[in-house]
Amino acid sequence: MSKNTFLAFDLGASGGRAIAGILKNGKLELKEVHRFKNQMTLIHGSYYWNIFSLFDELKKGLKKCIDNFQICPQSVAVDTWGVDYSLISGNGQIIGLPYAYRDHRTNDIMDDFFNNILSKEETYLLTGIQFMQFNSLFQLYASVKQNYPGLDIAEHMLFTPDTINYLFTGIRKNEYTIASTSQLLKPGKAEWESRLFKAAGISEKLQCEIVEPGTILGKLLPEVSEQTGCGELLCVAVASHDTASAVVSIPAEEGSWAYISSGTWSLLGIESKEPLVSKETLKMNFTNEGGAEGTTRFMKNIMGMWLIQECKRIWDNEIELSWQDIVDLSLKAEPFKCLINPDDNLFINPGNMPEAIVSYCKAAGQPVPESKGEIARCIYDSLVLKYKYTIKNIESITGRKIEKLHIIGGGAYNEMLNQFTADATGIPVIAGPTEATAIGNIMMQAKALGVVNSVSEIRKVVRRSIDVRTYLPEPGLNWEKAYDRFMKLL
């Protein structure tokens, strides 16, 4: 077993990776040992995740780490996207494949819930969570409405990382940060809000014990050890919502800072000591999700790179473009020709994203984007303007001026978007780390095993270990005029 070596499994909606982290002389070194694709599976009109295939890929990653890289980690941990879950029967079997959050069964479910169960205000004040149609609360309510038979035999509910941990260890626990995405917890507390379960007709027996991030769950099952050759290895429940892990790794110091965890989603927010739940935050639809060390991630979920990812998927049928190709095409297009609200429900899972953007612009009475570059430019401009809008709202709610904006995750590679964000907001942007989620995962494993003592110490390690790039606001495009147009779309 390699000392101070940890293996992070970072699962996203479009792919997963196994990344080894080695802590040495106060610095962290990363080594990617396995990468694989992930996508929703469409079966008879419904979208699912193949949780068993994902588990096989993670075991493959662990085996490759040991066999190909001669790295035997002290522990493993998984982080994933939020809200999705598996149902577990009384005898420990996973009931079917878990639904994917972009499944269409929740398309109209929120209105049904507010009209028949609890009002929007009541629900928000109980949970402090942003309203999104695919939150676990609404997924479960949709299953109740549809008389989904799996609910009749389910004894436990495990969110995606909890499910993976269960497959690794046989232990059924809910980790706090991932459970907080469900809209089923009390604000800022690792406690289920039983009133929501009762009101929605969801069985309270689904509730598992909630553990804090940085909890050692136990050893891997003997069958997993045998398949991977890892011996006795610990499994840790880290901040297992990917954004929560990413926030742990922000190389921030003192002062008033915000972050954008930029990937399929853009999660824009601040780290708060307390949840911020009021009629004002309800009106602005902010979320209060759990963080490490009792903090709250007060933030907004913004549609993010999903818009570009889906366009690229369609365009690749015609011509294969790199991400940089798409950026280059967008730079040649006219700025602000057309704008969208990135969070319009039309864009959740339209099938053909370029067509959806054209339809939106037509319906809004705007010029229609006519090329790939114009569609991409529309997306990038609109995302930046949504960032500006969200930051203004955070400043209004907290009464604090944001002095620095940290952009972390894969989106931090996009230099154009980083500069546009600095220009539009007037706030210096600090880009990096791009591997924020894996770093946060690894360092929370280190904290669980006593190698580091706090998130503050983790951030010091990150500052010593990675290079960041700063983008200062520059004059140029008239972002204020574009912002006035954008506001009319909200």
DSSP labels, 452-488: S--HHHHHHHHHHH---EEE-----S-HHHHHHHHHT
Answer yes or no: 242 catalytic.
Answer: yes
Q: Where in the chain is the domain with CATH 3.30.420.40?
A: 5-241, 250-432+453-490
Instruction: Give the integer Cα–Cα distance in Å for 421 and 386.
Output: 10
What is the predicted pLDDT for the residue at 254?
85
Provide the percentage of residues in the chain whose pLDDT is more than 90: 99
CA distance 25 to 6: 15
Helix (H) or strand (E) holding 52: helix 51-67
Average pLDDT estimate for 112-133: 98
Residue 367 has phi, psi (to 5 degrees) of -60, 145
**Closest by CA position to 457, among listed 174, 214, 233, 257:** 214
Per the prediction, the chain carries an average pLDDT of: 98
Contact 340, 363 (CB under 8 A): no
Give residue 237's pLDDT: 99
| CATH no. for 5-241 | 3.30.420.40
Query: Could you read off the pLDDT of 270-314 as tens digits, one per residue?
Result: 999 999 999 999 999 999 999 999 999 999 999 999 999 999 999
Q: What is the 3-state secondary structure (H, E, C) of 195-257?
A: HHHHHHCCCHHHCCCEECCCEEEEECCHHHHHHHCCCCCEEEECCCEHHHHHHHCCCCCCCCE
Checking if the pLDDT of 3 tops 90, the result is no
pLDDT band at 1 (very low <50, low <70, confident <90, very high): low
* DSSP string covering 426-445: TS-EEE--TTHHHHHHHHHH
* Closest C-alpha among 108, 85, 294 to residue 208: 85
Q: Which of 242, 343, 381, 423 is catalytic?
A: 242
- 3-class DSSP state of 159: strand
Q: How confident is the model at residue 2 (pLDDT cuts 50, 70, 90)?
A: confident
pLDDT tens track for 389-439: 999 999 999 999 999 999 999 999 999 999 999 999 999 999 999 999 999
Task: Give the HSE-up count for residue 180: Cα atoms under 13 Å, Cβ half-sphere.
Answer: 32
Give CA separation, 193 vs 163, 200, 296, 370, in Å. 21, 12, 17, 49
User: Is the distance from CB of 262 to CB of 411 less than 8 angstroms?
Assistant: yes
- What is the distance between the alpha carbons of residues 364 and 384, in angstroms, rounded to a whole number? 19
Give the pLDDT score at 189.
98
Compute the average pLDDT of residues 43-58: 98
311-363 tens-digit pLDDT: 999 999 999 999 999 999 999 999 999 999 999 999 999 999 999 999 999 99
Which residue has better confidence, 374 or 2?
374
Topology of domain 250-432+453-490, per CATH?
Nucleotidyltransferase; domain 5 (3.30.420)
CB 138 within 8 A of CB 110: yes
Residue 313 one-letter amino acid: R
List, for residues 199-216, the tens digit of each pLDDT value.
999 999 999 999 999 999
Cα(16)–Cα(60) distance, integer angstroms: 12
Of 344, 319, 295, 328, the closest CA to residue 454 belongs to 295
| DSSP H helical ranges for 318-433 | 323-332, 353-363, 372-398, 415-425
* Interatomic CA distance for residues 197 and 205, integer angstroms: 10
Place of tokens 């991977």: 228
Give the Cα separation of 14 and 9 in Å (integer).
14
